[in-house]
Amino acid sequence: MNAARALTILLGLSAALKAAPPASPVWLDPPPGWIDVTAKTTAKGLILAYQGPEGSSFALARMPAVPLDNPAAVRSYLVHVLAGLRAGSKRDYRVAGRLETRPLRNGISAQILRAELAGKPRLILAVFDGGGGRPVLSTLSSAAPEQMLTPLLGSVRLGKAGEVRSEGTARSADGQLELALGGGLRSREALPDEKSHGLVLAVQGSGAEVRLFKLSEDDVQPREQIAVVRATVADALKISVADVSPALEAATSAGPTAVYAWAKVPGSSDLRFAAGFLPWGYWGYSILAQGPMADELLVGAMAALKQGPSAVSGLVAASPRVEVEPGSSHKLLKRAFALGVLLVLAAFVWSRGRKNANLPR
C-alpha cells in the first residue's frame, strides 16, 4: 500500500460520515514513523489523521450518535463505514469476524470490526466513547493492523487539555508510569505545546507541580545527569551552581531511583524550583518541578510512581543507576560525628589524666 492509497482511505471517510455533535478533545501519542496529516485530509468530521510506514494510516472522526450499548447498531454502522471506504478507495474490503469489545491500555473500551483484503488482514474499524456519551470512529489501515492497534488506538488520550483530576489513576502518555491520585496528589492533562516537547505526565500538590518529559533520544550519559540537573536549576533561576543544592536521590516504587537538585526562587519567600532525571530502560525522563516545596512534591511523586501497563519489568530493572555522591549536608554530619567522637575521647583522656594526677606517687 502506497502513500496515495493511505490518503484515499482517509478521504474515503467522507462517504461514511454525516454531521455529528463535537466530541471531547482527543489527541494521540503516535509511535515512531507516524506523521500527522490532519491538515492535508478533508474528511468531514475528522478529528485527527496519521500516516505511517508503507502507506499505513490511522484516523479518528466524529460520528452520529449511534447507541454504543447496542452491538447490532454498532455493527450496522461499521459495516456502513466499510462500504464507504470500499467505494472511496475502490478496494474490495470484506468483513472478517464478529464485532468484538477490546479494552485498551489507555482505559478506552473499543468495539472493533476487522476487514480483510484479498484474504489478508488489512483494516480495523473501531468505535468508542469520546466523553459524555459522544462516540468516536477510528480507522486503522495497515499490513499488520492487529499489531498496530495498541500502539495507536491504545495511546489515544481523552479529555480537555490542562484538565485537572484528583481521583483515579494518572498514567503517563506512553503508558510506562502511573500513580494513584488522592491524598493531595492531582494530575493535569498536557497542553498542546507541552506535548510537542515530550511531556508525558504532570502531577500537582500543595500549590506545586511536577512534570515529566520523555527523553527518547538523549545522548547524555547517566553519570553526567548529576551535573545536568544542577546546571538546569542554575540556568532556569539565573543563579550560580554553587547556590543549588547537592544532587539528591528520590526512590520510586517502580524500581529506578531518580536524581534531582533544587534551589529557592530568587526574590520569593517560599517558591522553589527543582530539576531531576529518572532513568528508565534505555531512555529516561527529565523532571521539572516548581512551586512551594517543589522538591518535596518531586520526592513524593516519585515515591508514588508505579510501572504502567506498557512497562516491561525486566527492561525497567535493567535501568542504569545514577550514583550520587554524599552531599555537603551528609559530609557535615560525618564531620560532626567525627568531631563528637574526638571530643568524647578527649574528655575521657582528660578525665583519666585528672584521676592519675590525684593518685599518690
Three cell numbers written together for 240: 550560580
Q: What H or E segment, with its residue span, contains residue 356?
A: helix 328-358
Based on the fold, state whether residues 271 and 191 are members of the same structural domain.
Answer: yes
Tell me how far apart the alpha carbons of residues 298 and 285 are, in angstroms, rounded to a whole number. Answer: 13
Residue type, 152: L
Question: Does residue 323 lie in a domain region?
Answer: no
Gyration radius of the chain's alpha carbons = 28
- End-of-domain residue from the set 115, 143, 158: 158
Tell me how far apart the alpha carbons of residues 145 and 163 are, in angstroms, rounded to a whole number. Answer: 32
- End-of-domain residue from the set 135, 158, 181: 158
Query: In the 8-state DSSP scheme, what is residue 38?
Result: G
Question: For 209-271, where are the alpha helices, taking DSSP H only?
Answer: 225-237
Question: Does residue 325 lie in a domain region?
Answer: no
Based on the fold, state whether residues 360 and 265 are members of the same structural domain.
Answer: no
Question: Does residue 322 lie in a domain region?
Answer: no
**Which CATH number covers residue 204?**
2.60.120.1690
Give how far Cα 217 sits from Cα of 26, 102, 284, Å: 26, 32, 9
**Which CATH number covers residue 102?**
3.40.1000
Rounded to two decimals, what is the model's pTM?
0.53
Based on the fold, state whether residues 14 and 149 are members of the same structural domain.
Answer: yes
Question: Does residue 283 lie in a domain region?
Answer: yes
Tell me how far apart the alpha carbons of residues 186 and 181 are, in angstroms, rounded to a whole number. Answer: 6
Tell me how far apart the alpha carbons of residues 53 and 30 are, in angstroms, rounded to a whole number. Answer: 12
260 contact partners, CB below 8 Å, separation of at least 6: 229, 247, 248, 249, 250, 274, 275, 276, 277, 287, 289, 295, 298, 299
**What's the first-to-final CA gap in the chain, in angstroms?**
108
Q: For residue 279, report the phi and psi dihedrals to the nearest 5 degrees.
A: -65, 145
Three cell numbers written together for 263: 534551589
Residue 331 confidence (pLDDT): 38
Count Cα atoms within 13 angstroms, Cβ side, for 285: 25
Q: Which of 62, 68, 6 is nearest to 37 (CA)?
A: 6
For 181-199, the pLDDT digits (tens) are 988 899 888 777 777 788 8
Looking at the structure of the chain, the number of domains it has is 3
Question: Does residue 324 lie in a domain region?
Answer: no
- pLDDT means over runs of 10, the chain (361 residues): 44 39 57 83 81 90 87 93 87 91 85 92 91 83 91 79 76 90 87 80 90 80 86 93 94 91 90 93 92 93 92 90 61 38 40 42 40
Based on the fold, state whether residues 173 and 310 are members of the same structural domain.
Answer: yes
Based on the fold, state whether residues 147 and 24 are members of the same structural domain.
Answer: yes
- 276 and 298 Cβ atoms separated by less than 8 Å: yes
Tell me how far apart the alpha carbons of residues 187 and 171 are, in angstroms, rounded to a whole number. Answer: 9
- End-of-domain residue from the set 110, 135, 158: 158
Residue 295 confidence (pLDDT): 94
Residue 292, judged by CB atoms within 10 A of its CB (0-12, 13-18, 19+), counts as: middle
Based on the fold, state whether residues 154 and 173 are members of the same structural domain.
Answer: no
Based on the fold, state whether residues 211 and 248 are members of the same structural domain.
Answer: yes
Count Cα atoms within 13 angstroms, Cβ side, for 255: 20
Based on the fold, state whether residues 204 and 73 are members of the same structural domain.
Answer: no
Based on the fold, state whether residues 233 and 297 are members of the same structural domain.
Answer: yes
9, 10, 15, 18: CA torsion to nearest 10: 150
For 26-68, the pLDDT digits (tens) are 777 678 888 888 877 777 788 888 999 888 999 998 888 888 8
Tell me how far apart the alpha carbons of residues 43 and 345 are, in angstroms, rounded to a whole number. Answer: 85
Question: Does residue 226 lie in a domain region?
Answer: yes
Question: Does residue 305 lie in a domain region?
Answer: yes
Three cell numbers written together for 282: 534505555
Question: Does residue 139 lie in a domain region?
Answer: yes
Q: Which domain holds residue 96?
A: 3-158
Give the sheet arrangement for strand 257-264, strand by strand.
164-165, 186-188, 199-205, 208-214, 283-292, 271-280, 257-264, 248-251
Tell me how far apart the alpha carbons of residues 53 and 143 are, in angstroms, rounded to a whole number. Answer: 10
Based on the fold, state whether residues 253 and 152 are members of the same structural domain.
Answer: no
Give the sheet arrangement for strand 57-62, strand by strand.
35-36, 46-51, 57-62, 135-141, 120-129, 109-117, 93-103
Based on the fold, state whether residues 239 and 356 are members of the same structural domain.
Answer: no
Q: Which of 2, 10, 81 is nearest to 49 (CA)?
A: 10
Based on the fold, state whether residues 311 and 354 are members of the same structural domain.
Answer: no
